[in-house]
């Protein structure tokens, strides 16, 4: 299966208007107007909504021993810098109420990554790699990082990128075969790149390797900085998609579906290998219509070049008691994702769709994809 996957590689505004009072703290931009009838914006400045303008920076003093740490200090010199002992345990943030979740997403935490241990993976990569960031400044209501970090799922940057890159290159060179490293499992590197330039830095260095590949998923479309790079086919971007209604009502602070499709088309035109995640599949009341329309839009707007090399991953949503508690307090008018009639317990405090429900959803998606994107392989469904 791993060889087969590698062959594929090579070949609501409605919710925003209800909760705009808290979300406006995240998307501060003089050309974005939060009105009760929705959001008005100037097209040329819209992407700036996805660039974090931190109000506070919590940092480990050791970060200033690294080049990137000093660059960030200069870049954000006008923002308060508050020293901390450990990026994993900031007591004043940990003790905040759930209502502060949106406000905390405006904070930036900068530290030194201690653990560089790789985790074997059996899906689209050989290893999950701890890399230059974890957490995110977006606020998807189902985000699995909330399970790990609770309300402290804000964006953390790690400045010892040279150490991380050295291990990647060393591991690749010692391998007897091409392997795939997943470097974006704990964050969104396209979003992070707007702050650090780390994705450009990474591609320029790893592309010199004679072996192996890097892969990362994203929900964002700010790919222009990496389009002209000499990636030498060593980079695989996977775009996560969902119906536009779900993006607007559930995936707060991420790019629109149309923007995501445009980004994957541009990446493919630039010679990058591309994949797509339909993830997470959220079984809302009208989910069949939503996902049928999604697949129809993908079939219509993806370029023939993308369709020739594309592969698809399908991941059904999991949810948790922690999500419900935070969302209830932070976004009281948001969509309720827990559905007792469809979900069952999975592990400690987690929920997933019942097996029969998930099987029905998988059958429906496979049928729609076979109709409209019949040459695109589905790598796995979970």
The pLDDT, as a whole number, for residue 152 is 93
Domain limits at 36?
2-381
Query: In this model, does residue 35 exceed pLDDT 70?
Result: no
Share of the chain above pLDDT 90, in %: 84
Q: 18-22, 150-154, 241-245, 311-315: lowest mean pLDDT where?
A: 18-22
The pLDDT, as a whole number, for residue 310 is 98
The pLDDT, as a whole number, for residue 51 is 73
Query: In this model, does residue 12 exceed pLDDT 60?
Result: no
Share of the chain above pLDDT 70, in %: 87
By three-state DSSP, how is residue 305 classified? helix
Q: Residue-wise over 267-306: b if at least 16 C-beta within 10 A, else e?
A: bbebebbbbbbbbbbbbbeebeebbbbbbebbbeebeeeb
Query: In this model, does residue 164 exceed pLDDT 60?
Result: yes
Query: In this model, does residue 96 exceed pLDDT 90?
Result: yes
Which of residues 178 and 49 earns the better pLDDT score? 178
CA distance 300 to 192: 30
The band of 49, judged by pLDDT with boundaries at 50, 70 and 90, is low
DSSP 8-class letter at 29: -
Number of helices (H), then strands (E), in the chain: 16, 20
pLDDT tens digits along 321-353: 999 999 999 999 999 999 999 999 988 899 999
Query: In this model, does residue 46 exceed pLDDT 50?
Result: no
CA distance 348 to 376: 36
pLDDT tens digits along 193-208: 999 999 999 999 999 9
Q: What is the mean pLDDT of residues 235-254?
A: 98
pLDDT tens digits along 24-34: 444 433 333 33
Average pLDDT, the chain: 90
Q: What is the mean pLDDT of residues 224-245?
A: 98
Q: What is the mean pLDDT of residues 245-252?
A: 98
Cβ contact 139:26 at 8 Å: yes
The band of 86, judged by pLDDT with boundaries at 50, 70 and 90, is very high
Q: How many domains does the chain have?
A: 1
The band of 147, judged by pLDDT with boundaries at 50, 70 and 90, is confident
Domain of residue 301, CATH code: 3.80.30.30
Which of residues 12 and 103 earns the better pLDDT score? 103
Q: What is the mean pLDDT of residues 227-243?
A: 99
The pTM is what? Answer: 0.88
């Amino acid at each position: 299966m791993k060889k087969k996957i590698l062959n594929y590689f090579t070949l609501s505004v409605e919710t925003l208007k209800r909760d705009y009072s808290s979300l406006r703290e995240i998307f501060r931009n003089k050309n974005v107007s939060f009105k009760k009838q929705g959001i008005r914006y100037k097209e040329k400045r819209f992407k700036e909504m996805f660039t974090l303008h931190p109000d506070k920076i919590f940092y480990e003093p050791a970060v200033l021993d690294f080049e990137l740490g000093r660059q960030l200090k200069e870049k954000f010199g006008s923002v308060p810098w508050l020293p901390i002992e450990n990026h994993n345990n900031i007591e004043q943030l940990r003790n905040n109420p759930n209502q502060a979740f949106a406000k905390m997403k405006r904070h930036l935490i900068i530290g030194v990554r201690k653990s560089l241990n790789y985790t074997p993976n059996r899906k689209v990569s050989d290893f999950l790699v701890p890399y230059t960031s974890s957490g995110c400044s977006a606020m998807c209501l189902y985000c699995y990082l909330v399970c790990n970090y609770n309300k402290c799922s804000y964006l953390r940057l790690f400045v010892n990128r040279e150490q991380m890159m050295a291990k990647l290159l060393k591991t690749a060179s010692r391998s007897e075969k091409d392997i795939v490293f997943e470097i974006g499992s704990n964050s969104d590197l396209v979003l992070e790149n707007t702050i650090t330039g780390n994705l450009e830095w990474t591609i320029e260095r790893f592309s010199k390797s004679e072996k192996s590949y890097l892969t990362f998923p994203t929900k964002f479309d700010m790919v222009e900085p990496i389009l002209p790079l000499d990636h030498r086919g060593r980079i695989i971007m996977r775009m996560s998609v969902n119906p536009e209604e779900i993006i607007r009502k559930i995936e707060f602070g991420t790019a629109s579906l149309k923007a995501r499709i445009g980004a994957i088309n541009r990446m493919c035109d630039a010679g990058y290998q591309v994949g797509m995640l339909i993830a997470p599949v959220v079984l809302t009341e009208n989910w069949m219509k939503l996902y049928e329309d999604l697949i129809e839009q993908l079939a219509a707007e993806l370029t023939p070049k993308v369709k020739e090399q594309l592969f698809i991953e399908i991941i059904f949503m999991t949810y948790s008691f922690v999500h419900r508690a935070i969302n209830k307090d932070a976004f009281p008018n948001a969509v309720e994702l827990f559905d007792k009639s469809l979900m069952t317990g999975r592990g400690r405090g987690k929920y997933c769709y019942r097996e029969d429900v998930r099987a029905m959803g998988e059958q429906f998606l496979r049928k729609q994809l076979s109709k409209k994107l019949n040459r695109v392989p589905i790598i796995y469904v979970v």
